[in-house]
Structure 1
Amino acid sequence: MKRETAARALYRDTKSAKAAPLRIVNEVDRDGNPLLMSNAFIVQEVGSGKVLLERNATSVLPIASITKLMTAMVVLDAKLSLSEPLTITEDDTDKLKFTSSRLIVGTTMTREELIHLALMSSENRAAAALGRNYPGGIEAFIAAMNQKAASLGLVETTFHDSTGLNPHNVSSARDLARMVTAATHYPLIREFSTDDEEIVDVRGRAQTFRNTNGLVKSPDWQIGLSKTGFINEAGRCLVMQAWLADKPMVIVLLDSVGKFTRVADAQRIKRWIEGAVSHQAQLVGRVPAG
């Protein structure tokens, strides 16, 4: 049984769908750092690589659907036809977690549409079909995922499927910061992962698919890349590349407790960074000239 951390015990009740968003009265600790409830995280400047915050950043943890960023990169690296129609088959259904999907067996979409749904709304059958239709099949695809991870220097990262449903897909916050940065070099991944919603024809019926990260539609956020993840073994996960205080930052939040915690932690990080910059500007303004 997975060891229950103090944070997990304290906020266990927030796993209920009816739980209210976490509110922490004192948002910073005695060192002035934000109090975050994710069990592993890293916040890093993109340009300099400077780490602003981290905790358990080298702990190897399940990453759930954060996996789909690597899935998209491997598909795009292969330069397969994005307009090729692919059909969802029984092989793409989830026989591990038995999750549901609106992409019923027999649905045909282009490879590009499947990448879109995998990134935006974390569609597992879309990601499964992308891996299955790779040259050499799913085994060759998983090998390519791990080869890509090695090429990026992700020493704590291993993949066993293209969806993230397999809890043996693992990484660390530090590795994922590097993976997110690599993924930002793909314009299609940036576009699709930050789309708010898309209306898609599924076998003659219009279906609305929405982004699993509600922050992408917030006017308070400027997000360049986003991906969420959740399975029981991984907890709630969120990775983003976002502009905070006019600087591109990578945020990785893993094993968050409760439905709202990862978003609440992201908001606390944003307030902390922007508040620190504002405070510094005030101090500079008080320095006498000469």
Structure 2
Amino acid sequence: MPFASRLRLLPNLLVLIVAGLAAGAAPASAHAAAHHTAAESTVHATPKKKKSVAHKTKPVHRSMHADAPSTNLSGPKRRTKRARPRHGPLPASQHAAQVSAKDAHAPRLLARCGFTPASRKQLFSHAIYVVDENTHTPLYARNADAVAPVASVSKLMTAIVWLDSAHAPLQQRLSVTTADLDTLKFTDSRLGVGASLTRANMLHVALMSSENRAASALSRDYPGGRPAFVAAMNTKALRFGMTHTHFVNATGLSPQNVSTARELANLVRAANGYPLIRRYSIDHQERVSTGRGQLQYVNSNRLVRYGQVRASVQKTGFINESGHNMVMRVMVHGRRPVIVTLLGSATPEGSRLDGVRIAHWLSCSLR
């Protein structure tokens, strides 16, 4: 081909070369663009992962709200924790209300029935204790824990010890001997030496009429004799919770037979458990055969003897050291037992009047 013709074809050849070069660069550019697009998708995927991580940490976020006092969750939780147990202690106000309600129903002596400070000053006995037996509620006490001689009130314990021994038939006769004479106070008795009574009669007149020689004979007629009998009396006293009570003989003629008005209530309560003590102590009168004739005895407690007080158990007692004493288990309205113990009245009339006044308070106040 002539040289001139080749020169004319040269521009076309250059165009073809440039076009070829452009066509070869296109795949590279497409690959680069594809690589860039993939990189972008990876970058955008990473935040998505972070977003999911943030979602997992939401419980931590909630716990922070749970500790905040202003949220709704905190209120119920605190109320649940502070809720009082169903059977737990009552609030002080409710407890006080219950105690007040209980006190309102507790038995008590009423001022409208004459139980006033002025009337209480008119009582003659030095030591007094009045207790409702069913509820064990003390209704009145004066010097109730003062230890004092109890005199023939001791015979209630004498009867208990003898009956518990049950070593001889009640209808078997027992004679009075010189060993039964009072060599301490030198008191007299209607039962002379040699008089013979059934053991039942001995117990009867000892309780009803406070017959000293009858009580002395019963204590002598005991396994082991009088020392064993007196020891049994003191053992019984401890068993009855009478820790300030002590006996040295069965009659009460010794001032060393001592107790308190409060502890004598325990003795009266125990004595009430013996049908014979209940029967004999409140009997109005009894005629007994002594083997030499008959003797008429009456109750030494005038309140019981004349029906001024209805009682299930009673006992009186007197020596110079003790003054006049009286204990009773009074049946208020014939059905409600109240124990009354009176120690240390200067006169028998004072002791009787105290019993009448207290019986009136009880009858009016208790229903």
TM range (shorter): 0.7 to 0.9
Identify which of structures 1 and 2 has the higher relative contact order when contacts are C-alpha pairs closer than 8 Å and 6+ apart. Answer: 1
Matched residues in 2 for 1:222 and 1:252: separation?
15
Q: Deviations over 1:29-82 (max 9, x none)?
A: 437757311000101111111100011111000000000000000000111221
2:59 maps to none
Given candidates 178, 202, 213, the residue that maps to 1:125 is 213
- Residue identity in the other structure for 1:132: R
Number of matched pairs: 253
2:229 equivalent to 1:168 = no
SS at match of 2:131: strand
- For the 8 Å contact 1:34–1:268, the answer to whether it is kept is no
Alignment TM-score, normalising by the size of structure 2: 0.66
| Shift, 1:28, TM fit | 4.8
From the superposition, tell whether residues 219 and 162 of structure 1 become closer, same or farther in structure 2 (CA, over 3 Å). Answer: closer
| Shift, 1:270, TM fit | 1.2
Report the identity percentage: 44
SS at match of 1:74: helix
Which has the greater radius of gyration?
2
- Residue identity in the other structure for 2:336: K
- For the 8 Å contact 2:197–2:288, the answer to whether it is kept is no
- For the 8 Å contact 1:195–1:211, the answer to whether it is kept is yes
Q: Which runs of 5+ in 2 are unaligned?
A: 1-113
Q: Deviations over 1:103-138 (max 9, x none)?
A: 100011121111111001000000000001110000
| Shift, 1:202, TM fit | 2.3
From the superposition, tell whether residues 206 and 253 of structure 1 become closer, same or farther in structure 2 (CA, over 3 Å). Answer: same
1:177-196 map, 5 Å: 177-196=265-284
1:102 maps to 190
Matched residues in 1 for 2:117 and 2:144: separation?
21
- Residue identity in the other structure for 1:147: T
Matched residues in 1 for 2:316 and 2:366: separation?
28
1:251 maps to 340
Q: Deviations over 1:154-212 (max 9, x none)?
A: 11100000000011000000110011000000000000000101111223322111110
SS at match of 1:180: helix
2:329 equivalent to 1:241 = yes
| RMSD value, Cα | 1.7
2:160 maps to 73
From the superposition, tell whether residues 210 and 183 of structure 1 become closer, same or farther in structure 2 (CA, over 3 Å). Answer: same
Given candidates 227, 230, 233, the residue that maps to 1:142 is 230
Given candidates 132, 148, 164, the residue that maps to 1:45 is 132
1:112 maps to 200
1:219-238 map, 5 Å: 219-238=307-326
2:244 maps to 156
1:18-37 map, 5 Å: 28-30=115-117, 33=120, 35-37=122-124
SS at match of 1:260: helix
Alignment TM-score, normalising by the size of structure 1: 0.83
SS at match of 1:38: coil
